[in-house]
Amino acid sequence: MTGIKTLADLKRKQEEVRREIDLRRRAEEPDSLVQVKVAMATCGIASGAKIVMDLFVRELPRRGIEAVVTQTGCMGYCFAEPTVEITLPGKEPIVFGYVDAHKVDEIIEHYIKQGELVDGIIPQNYNTIAEPD
């Protein structure tokens, strides 16, 4: 461990470690942040959902977006895997299919940042017996 000799040192240290535990702060207020759910069932993982999730986890903070990235089970759109559900604060969730590295970039830049819809949206065509959490 190196010493913290000045207040600037302390601030730098805080910045450095804050990112590591930032997820815990964000989890306290998920509704005010962008929520990304990656379908990580067998079908999703086989089609590359893990890479997609890794990309979201890495890219969102790098592009200065406060988000909560979670994984979920199969959404049923196995034909369109990997699928990702994005909920912007105060908006209805939207599901994107056939997500790859390129698509991740497009979703972040266009939908998450500017609210513009991009291709590949899967219309929600079912109701659940309970309100989704």
Question: Which residues of the chain form contacts with another protein (CB under 8 A)?
Answer: 1, 3-7, 9-11, 13-14, 17-28, 30, 39-41, 53-54, 57-58, 61, 68-73, 133
Q: Which long-range contacts (CB under 8 A, 24 or more apart) does 96-104 make?
A: 96/120, 96/121, 96/122, 97/121, 97/122, 99/52, 100/48, 100/52, 101/51, 101/52, 101/55, 104/52, 104/55, 104/56, 104/59
Q: How far is the CB of 40 from another protein (least distance, A)?
A: 5
Closer residue to another protein, CB minimum distance, 59 or 106: 59
Closer residue to another protein, CB minimum distance, 21 or 125: 21
Q: How far is the CB of 119 from another protein (least distance, A)?
A: 26
86: enclosing H helix or E strand: strand 84-87
Q: How far is the CB of 117 from another protein (least distance, A)?
A: 25
Closer residue to another protein, CB minimum distance, 41 or 65: 41
